[in-house]
């Protein structure tokens, strides 16, 4: 149980284009989903937290207009990197937390490696 999928696993795009990444909880309902960014050999940096049906809460320094997050259902959240630039190249990871218990464990997707040319 507690499987989270992410799609695509890898994407290469041209500078200026937008890229959408999907995160799905496959066998549980995720009341909260999180989006992280990870640079090579670094720890995870939380970008935003999203609750189903409401606006995402962004961490300080993360541009909400640049990184659009939608959590339309209890099993799907999307991250859209708008007008991507080479500095947006990174490993993006989502996680999902199920249930009403706020102490519930976060389960992670396999990540999406974004390369912007």
Partner 1 sequence: AQKVTQAQTEISVVEKEDVTLDCVYETRDTTYYLFWYKQPPSGELVFLIRRNSFDEQNEISGRYSWNFQKSTSSFNFTITASQVVDSAVYFCALSVPPNAGNNRKLIWGLGTSLAVNP
Shortest separation between residue 39's beta carbon and partner 1, angstroms: 12
In contact, 82 and 66? CB cutoff 8 Å: yes
Residue from 78, 88, 95, 116 in contact with partner 1 (CB under 8 A):
95
Which lies closer to partner 1 via its Cβ, residue 82 or residue 91?
Answer: 91
Residue from 7, 13, 26, 46 in contact with partner 1 (CB under 8 A):
46
Q: Which two tokens stand for residue 44?
A: 């995870």
Quote the CA–CA distance of 55 and 51 in Å, as a whole number.
7
- Least Cα distance to 91 among 112, 116, 115 occurs for 112
DSSP β-bridge partners for residue 73: 76
- Using CB under 8 A as the criterion, which residues of the chain lie in contact with partner 1 when the complex forms? 2, 32, 34, 41-44, 46, 49, 51, 57, 91, 93, 95, 102-103, 105-111, 113
């Amino acid at each position: 149980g507690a499987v989270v999928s992410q799609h695509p696993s890898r994407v290469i795009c041209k500078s200026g284009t937008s890229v959408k990444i999907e995160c799905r909880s496959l066998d549980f309902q995720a009341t909260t989903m999180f989006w992280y960014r990870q640079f090579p050999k670094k720890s995870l940096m939380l970008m935003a937290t999203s609750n189903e049906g409401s606006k995402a809460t962004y961490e300080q320094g993360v541009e909400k207009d640049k990184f659009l997050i939608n959590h339309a259902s209890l099993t799907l959240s999307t991250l859209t990197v708008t007008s991507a630039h080479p500095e947006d190249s990174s490993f993006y990871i989502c996680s999902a937390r199920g249930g009403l218990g706020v102490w519930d464990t976060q389960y992670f997707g396999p990540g999406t490696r974004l390369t912007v040319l």
